[in-house]
Structure 1
Amino acid sequence: MQLPIPRGALLDPDANGTDAAAPVVADSDAVVFNPALAAIGRADTASGAHLRARAPIPVDIIRKGFPARETMTGADQDRSVGFKLGQDAFSLSTSLNAPAGPGTSRDARLDWRWARPASTDPGVIWGVSTGGGGAVGGNPEQTGDATIGYRQQLFPHLMLTTQLGMAGNYVFAAGDGFHSALTPEVKLSVDLAKAADLPWQASFDLALARKLPLVASDYETRGTALLSLKYRWQ
């Protein structure tokens, strides 16, 4: 329902008569007012549309090499603290590093990374990324990698992924230079939450990969097993 309001109630007695008048409506003596405007405004606020218009930049804290509990037999670890701005497509991080080796000192580092992650849907998958960084007391380094593969569903909630990755890095230092390698990989993923109808997200990943050096790299075989559990409070 729309209610007419007399135009005289909307006029500013102190305004200049030459100012632009209100939009002309069918009735020259009244303008139309919609009482639902307040409800529409409250709905937009509750939906968070005003926040999505200027989404905040995610910030992650970098804290590596600090165990939750100190042990008498634990070996010294390289430590780094800092923060990281952004994620997914682009990120920029800065940190202060303290190597564990004798005779080394703390150093500040700045890194950046741009990536197009591989999708999680069945079918052909691909992804590329590049990045770089450098420390105050070290040499700059440039990295890059690309991945192409195929993901297919073998059984309900069981996914098989075969992929081939190529990675390389270049260190701007005499005697180091370019390193690169090809890495074929096979991975099985089980969605435990959907298989058992659980109220939280649960998955199990099993992967096997073989690194084949192209330039100045070493052979490497790796196998990983990861159990992931995630629960969201409503």
Structure 2
Amino acid sequence: MINQDFLSRIRRKNNWTQEDMAKIIGVSRPTFIALEKGIGSPTLDQIKKLADKLGCESQDILSEDIVDEEKYREVLLETIRYGAATDGKITKTKLAKLIYLNDFAWYYQHLESMTGAKYRRLKLGPVPNIYFSKVEELINEGVLNLEIKKDGSQMISLSRAGQMLKPNLLKTEEKKLIKNISQKWQGKRTEEIVKFTHEQLPYKICRDGEVIPYELITQQDPEYVY
């Protein structure tokens, strides 16, 4: 099943207009707009045309980690804004877990991912590949500060420039959920949230290194979604 945001994520990732995408898959712009809104799904032939344009196989597109990188960036920054301790700092591991809870809780409520990231079952919990590269990118841009403590833990905080950035891609409901989840775990130790994610059904069912299907969170007890 193709996620409702599938086409729009590919379009934004490649800086294509709706007209561009319509021409690529061989439909009118109004038809593409309807597809992008989730009214129907693209045919296999249309997916193949898109794959040909991207120089890959159809299956590569359907299994690709199609992340809305700008939106993921905003989710990351908002999570720090609300989830950091009173000193403005949060461990890199705890930040990753909070973003995971944001994504899966949003799926639990709306049957779609907030960012499109694919999370793998790792030793310290579910983490998408984009997390590490995005944090490093934001540090290099001067948006985030990184402090490595004597015990080796990595503390992340918003720089002055980062504090000035405001989200413009996140929906009001998404921002509210991020705030609620972040504040719920604010002040809790990293070990507590790691243990919590390990005890959730999606993590328990999957094997090490496997991608964790979002659908599994719908079977989770509501009290333990986040």
Q: After TM superposition, is the score higher than 0.5?
A: no
Structure with a larger share of its residues in strand: 1
Sort the TM-score into its range (normalised by shorter chain).
under 0.3
Structure with higher Rg: it is: 1
Larger relative contact order, structure 1 or 2 (CA cutoff 8 Å, min sep 6): 2
Structure with a larger share of its residues in helix: 2
